[in-house]
């Protein structure tokens, strides 16, 4: 059997927050999670790139490093990695068979995510990883990954309004759920958070006696390079020994100045705990970090476009900021590694007085904040090409079109297409000097990458 066939029976259970089911499943497997030291990462946006930075650095430091993230873009195996290499399909299938065998038929069936999470713990334990970087699936407090009582470090990267149907209607509710990964005495790193959310997070950390580390964002010192001041050598000590580190920053957007600082703060805490992570490992790890589908430049039939999930308010804001940075000339495309072949687009980006016109190819899931995302992304004169998200509970393109016109009546065009391929064809058939961006859903980005990888 293949992975899809093994997981299909659990798909209809959807998202069910709670720990009872996963604890029972892990107990039936011999509690593999007890054998794996972890760095636990949550946040609305940025958690994937923070996990990518950390796992790359720790692998470069010589540690057997596991990484568990979700969702995948192209293949299930992306979710479970060892030293940056995805698990093989054969190994994944074998693990799933073992997990499914220990499910008690008298008990409520676990969800698909719980089955995959259990498989990840089993894999990391058997591979005898030195530590694993674990990304929360949804929220934190009741997420299936939240089964370790003594993580090495806990991290909240950011908080904005997403999955509010499950986590609560406002930022304080969402913050409370994400702070549920904090454990007594465990260092807690927090990124740049809204004031109300930060107050909730700090309050919970103080209740549990967690040392709080709130790193300042790094600063860009050259295209593709950043500098960050490392301040806390020991999170339990008041003695600080400031020093700065300059490092390559291959991922795109000013938001990576925040995300990379969070990752480096976690590295600093691990160093204080006795983990041997040299500056060389940090520099090499940062340089080798890859995280597909997030501000990723690529091509389709020799046409250039930008890919990004931008599937929630925070993600949309990061994408819009990046586009505005391109227009101001402050960041630079591809951190100096990517040249825009189209001379008209290149001249616009290099001339701050020129306005970048955007052609947006967008598909969204049904339960997203469509109007709020459009308000952030769209500008007068932009063109919008709307598509359904394949194999997902998608928002209807015609309904998205109505919302988009209401939000931005000055759109240059707003059209709907039955699939991504026809939208791409239409966009590039008429786009000469516009920047083309495919966004709105990681599932849509994953579909694009899967289709193009087969060509």
The pLDDT value recorded for residue 344 is: 54
Same domain, 18 and 138: yes
- Final residue in a domain of this structure, among 288, 308, 342: 288
Range of lowest pLDDT (36-40, 114-118, 274-278, 333-337)? 333-337
Domain closes at, from 241, 267, 288: 288
Order of all β-strands in the sheet with 383-386: 296-300, 303-307, 435-439, 358-362, 383-386, 413-416
The reply to whether 308 and 225 lie within a common domain is: no
Classify residue 296 by its DSSP letter. Answer: E
**61 and 174 inside one domain:** yes
> Which of the listed residues 267, 288, 309 is the one where a domain comes to its end?
288
The verdict on 271 and 335 lying in the same domain is no
Find the distance separating the first CA and the last CA of the chain, reported in whole Å: 26
CB–CB of 251/291 below 8 Å? yes
Q: What are phi and psi of 213, to 5 degrees?
A: -120, 120
Q: Are 106 and 161 found together in one domain?
A: yes
Same domain? 137 vs 272: yes
Residues 101 and 138 in one domain: yes
The predicted structure's pLDDT at residue 160: 83
Structure tokens, 10: 């659990």
Query: What CATH number did the domain enclosing 414 receive?
Result: 3.90.190.20
56 and 189 co-located in one domain = yes
pLDDT band, residue 267 (cuts 50/70/90): very high
**How confident is residue 365, by pLDDT bands cut at 50, 70 and 90?**
very high
| Residue carrying structure tokens 């306005």 | 355
Domain count, the chain: 2
pLDDT of residue 239: 45
Give the domain CATH number at 282: 3.40.1190.10
| Range list of H helices, 61-145 | 89-101, 112-126
Q: Among the listed ranges 60-64, 102-106, 184-188, 418-422, which one has the minimum average pLDDT value? A: 102-106
Tell me if 68 sits within 8 A of 145, measured CB to CB: yes
Residue ranges making up the domain that contains 262:
3-288
Judge whether residue 351 has pLDDT over 90.
Answer: no
- Residue 85: C-alpha distances to residues 41, 52, 55, 81 (Å): 20, 12, 11, 5
Both 267 and 120 in one domain: the answer is: yes
Q: In this predicted model, what pLDDT tens digit does every residue of 271-292 receive, in sequence order?
A: 999 999 999 999 999 999 999 9
90-141 per-position pLDDT tens digit: 999 999 999 999 999 888 889 999 999 999 999 999 999 999 999 999 889 9
- Given pLDDT bands bounded at 50, 70 and 90, which one contains residue 331? very low
So what's the pLDDT on residue 16? 72
pLDDT over 50 at 201, yes or no: yes
User: In this predicted structure, what is the pLDDT of residue 18?
Assistant: 78
pLDDT-derived band at 434 (thresholds 50, 70, 90) equals confident
**Considering the entire predicted model, what is its pTM?**
0.91
Same-domain check for residues 222 and 363: no
> Looking at residues 28-53, what average pLDDT do you find?
96
Q: How confident is the model at residue 452 (pLDDT cuts 50, 70, 90)?
A: confident
For the residues 176-185, what does the mean pLDDT come to?
A: 96
What residue ranges in 249-349 does DSSP mark as E strands? 296-300, 303-307
The confidence score (pLDDT) of residue 170 equals: 84
Task: Judge if 180 and 41 occupy the same domain.
Answer: yes
One domain for residues 250 and 302: no
Whether the pLDDT of residue 143 is over 70: the answer is yes
H/E element holding 6? helix 3-11
Average pLDDT in the chain: 89
Per-residue pLDDT, 454 = 57
Secondary element (H or E) of residue 221:
strand 219-222
């Amino acid at each position: 059997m293949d992975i899809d066939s093994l997981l299909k029976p659990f798909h209809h259970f959807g998202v069910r927050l709670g720990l009872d089911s996963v604890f029972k499943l892990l107990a039936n497997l011999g509690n593999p999670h007890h054998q794996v030291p972890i760095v636990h990462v949550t946040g609305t946006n940025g958690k994937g790139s923070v996990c990518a930075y950390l796992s790359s650095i720790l692998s470069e430091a010589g540690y057997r490093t596991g990484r568990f993230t979700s969702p995948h873009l192209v293949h299930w195996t992306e979710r479970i990695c060892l030293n940056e290499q995805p698990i093989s399909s054969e190994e994944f299938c074998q693990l799933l068979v073992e997990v499914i065998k220990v499910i008690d038929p008298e008990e409520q069936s676990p969800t698909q995510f719980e089955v995959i999470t259990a498989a990840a713990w089993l894999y990391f334990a058997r591979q005898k990883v030195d530590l694993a970087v674990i990304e929360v699936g949804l929220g934190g407090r009741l997420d299936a990954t939240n089964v370790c009582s003594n993580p090495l470090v806990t991290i909240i990267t950011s908080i904005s309004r997403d999955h509010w149907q499950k986590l609560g209607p406002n930022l304080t509710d969402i913050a409370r759920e994400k702070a549920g990964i904090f454990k007594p005495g465990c260092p807690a790193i927090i990124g740049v958070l809204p004031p109300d959310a930060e107050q909730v997070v700090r309050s919970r950390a103080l209740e549990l006696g967690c040392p709080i580390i709130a790193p300042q964002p790094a600063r860009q010192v050259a295209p593709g390079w950043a500098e960050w001041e490392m301040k806390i050598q020991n999170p339990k000590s008041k003695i600080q020994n400031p020093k700065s580190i300059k490092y390559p920053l291959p991922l795109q957007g000013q938001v990576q100045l925040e995300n990379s600082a969070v990752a480096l703060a976690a590295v600093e805490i691990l160093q204080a705990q006795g983990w041997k992570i040299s500056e060389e490992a940090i520099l090499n790890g940062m340089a080798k970090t890859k995280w597909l589908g997030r501000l990723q430049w690529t091509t389709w039939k020799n046409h250039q476009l930008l890919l990004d999930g931008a599937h929630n308010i925070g993600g949309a804001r990061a994408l819009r900021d990046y586009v505005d940075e391109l227009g101001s000339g402050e960041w630079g495309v591809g951190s100096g590694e990517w040249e825009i072949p189209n001379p008209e687009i290149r001249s616009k980006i290099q001339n701050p007085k020129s306005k970048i016109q955007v052609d947006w190819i967008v598909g969204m899931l049904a339960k997203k904040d469509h109007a709020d995302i459009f308000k952030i992304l769209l500008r007068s004169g932009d063109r919008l090409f709307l598509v359904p998200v394949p194999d997902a509970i998608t928002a209807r393109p015609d309904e998205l079109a109505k919302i988009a016109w209401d939000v931005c009546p000055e759109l240059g065009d707003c059209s709907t297409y039955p699939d991504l391929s026809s939208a791409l064809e239409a966009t590039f058939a008429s786009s000469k000097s516009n920047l083309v961006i495919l966004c709105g859903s990681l599932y849509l980005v994953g579909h694009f990458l899967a289709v193009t990888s087969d060509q």
